[in-house]
């Protein structure tokens, strides 16, 4: 596993608390963040092709995707720390996601809850602009006030 980090240990710990990651530190439930952009689909990464970026582990389907990610990690990381974009926009809550329910808008990856007959991507699409505006504000408040 490659380790790419530029933050102080305290910042890494805060980031780990903010991001939607498994106890092991794994983001996106192991899905490859680059595949969303390259193929407009979700695909599980391989444990043997992983990197650690500022306390968060990402898996990739190929070395090429890992290297692409390393050129600009913030370009490929999901918005709102990988939490449900709709929930962040509707009430500022951190809600789990289904990594196969996503949308790319303006070069940004948004993830959504999709379980128990509730697909929040559908609701997001009905009211995207105001939800995104509110989600951006809620996330800023969260990352500055709720480590």
Question: What local confidence, expressed as pLDDT, does residue 8 receive?
Answer: 40
pLDDT, tens only, 122-137: 999 999 999 999 999 9
**Beta-bridge partners for 118:** 115
The residue-averaged pLDDT of 23-47 equals: 95
CA distance 17 to 11: 10
For the chain, give the number of residues.
147
Q: Is the pTM of this model over 0.85?
A: yes
Which bin fits 106, alpha (ψ -120 to 50), beta or left (φ > 0)?
left
């Amino acid at each position: 596993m490659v380790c790419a980090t530029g933050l102080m240990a305290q910042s890494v710990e805060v980031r780990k608390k903010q991001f939607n990651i498994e106890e092991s530190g794994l983001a996106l439930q192991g899905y490859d963040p680059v595949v969303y952009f390259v193929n407009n689909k979700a695909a599980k990464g391989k444990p043997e092709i992983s990197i650690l970026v500022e306390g968060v582990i990402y898996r990739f389907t190929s070395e090429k995707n890992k290297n692409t990610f390393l050129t600009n990690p913030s370009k490929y990381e999901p918005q709102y720390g990988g939490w449900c974009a709709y929930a962040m926009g509707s009430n500022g809550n951190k809600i789990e996601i289904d990594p196969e329910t996503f949308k790319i808008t303006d070069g940004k990856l948004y993830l959504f809850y999709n379980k128990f007959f509730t697909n929040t991507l559908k609701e997001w699409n009905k009211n995207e602009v105001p939800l995104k505006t509110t989600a951006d504000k809620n996330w800023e408040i969260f990352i500055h006030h709720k480590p």
